[in-house]
Amino acid sequence: MRRYREVCRRHLAAMAKQNGALHKIYNPNVAHILNPSTLKHLAREWLKEDTPSFDFAGFVVGEREETAVILIKSAGVLAGCPFVDAIFQELDCQAVRDVRIVGGFSTKIEVECRSVKEAVEAVEAGSDVIMLDNFSPEALSKGASELKKQFPHVIIEASGGITEDNLVQYCILDVDVISISRLVQGYSIVDLSMKIQKPGKDPENPTVVL
C-alpha cells in the first residue's frame, strides 16, 4: 500500500503541473492516471505479503488474510478504489457463488448493493436478499420495482439513511424489509428510576428546592 500511495502521489503531482490540460478534459477520472500494468503488479505484490487465516466464510475467504472495511457514511474522500478493484480482478472474487456452493439451498445469502446493476449481478450469482443501501425514496421505489419485475422471488431490503423521522417515506410496495442503524448505533437514553412508595411521600420524586 505504501508503494501504491507513492505512485499515486507522484502521478498526481505531475498532473497538478498540467492543471490547464485537466480542465480541457470532460469530467476527468483520476483513476485513469494509473498504468494498468503497474496497478496489476502492485496488486500481486500486495497479495504476496498476505498471510493465511480462516473464519465462518472460510471457503470464500480462502487462506488469505483479509482486512475488514469500515463504511464511513459521512462527508469525506473515497480513495484507493482502483487498487481494491485490481485485487478483486486478480483473485477472480466470486463471493456469492462460493458461499452458495458451501451453504447450499438452506443458507440465505444477502448482498449489499449501491445500484440496480450491482443487484442484478448479485441475484444472477445466487443472492436471496438484496440490500439497496443509501437509496433515496424515489430511487428505491424505481430500483425495487425493476428488480421485482425481473426477480419476483428476491427479498428487497432498504437500508442506509433511514430514521424514525423518515421511515414512512421508505414504506414502498416492492420493499420487503426496512432496516435502520439504531440497533447498533443506539437510541437516546431514557432516564428511569424505581421508587418504593411510602405513605406521605411523593412518588414523582420532585426536585428539592430551597
CA 182 → CA 33, 159, 174, distances in Å?
41, 11, 23
Q: Looking at 4-13, 170-179, 180-189, which range is the least confident one?
A: 4-13
Domain boundaries, the chain: 31-103, 110-183
Confidence of residue 135 (pLDDT cuts 50, 70, 90): very high
| Sequence-separated (6 or more) residues with CB below 8 Å from residue 174 | 141, 144, 145, 147, 148, 156
Confidence of residue 161 (pLDDT cuts 50, 70, 90): confident
Collapsed DSSP state (helix, strand, coil) of residue 110:
strand
What is the Cα–Cα distance from 66 to 55, expressed in whole angstroms? 10
**Residue 188: what are its φ and ψ, rounded to 5°?**
-65, 145
Does 37 or 99 have the greater pLDDT score? 37
What is the Cα–Cα distance from 101 to 126, expressed in whole angstroms? 10
Half-sphere exposure of residue 156: CA atoms within 13 angstroms, side-chain side: 28
Q: Using an 8 Å Cβ cutoff, are 43 and 17 in contact? A: no
Q: What is the CATH number of domain 110-183?
A: 3.20.20.70
Q: Looking at 8-22, 101-115, 172-186, which range is the least confident one?
A: 8-22
Nearest Cα residue to 206 out of 21, 193, 9 = 193
Residue indicated by cell numbers 472460510: 58
**Can you give the pLDDT at residue 84?**
74
Q: Looking at 4-18, 40-54, 85-99, 180-194, which range is the least confident one?
A: 4-18
**Can you give the pLDDT at residue 107?**
72
Q: State whether the Cα torsion 152-161-88-57 is positive or negative.
A: negative
DSSP code at position 129:
E
Nearest Cα residue to 56 out of 66, 46, 44, 47 = 66
What is the Cα–Cα distance from 35 to 91, expressed in whole angstroms? 19
Average pLDDT for 10-38: 61
Domain 31-103: what homologous superfamily? Quinolinate phosphoribosyl transferase, N-terminal domain (3.90.1170.20)
Among 45-49, 64-68, 87-91, 106-110, name the most confident range.
Answer: 106-110
Confidence of residue 140 (pLDDT cuts 50, 70, 90): very high
Q: Using an 8 Å Cβ cutoff, are 178 and 158 in contact? A: yes
Average pLDDT for 52-63: 55
Collapsed DSSP state (helix, strand, coil) of residue 92:
coil
Q: pTM score, two decimals?
A: 0.48
| pLDDT per residue as tens digits for the range 70-115 | 666 667 666 677 777 777 777 666 666 666 666 666 678 888 898 9
Average pLDDT for 117-123: 91
Average pLDDT for 167-196: 80
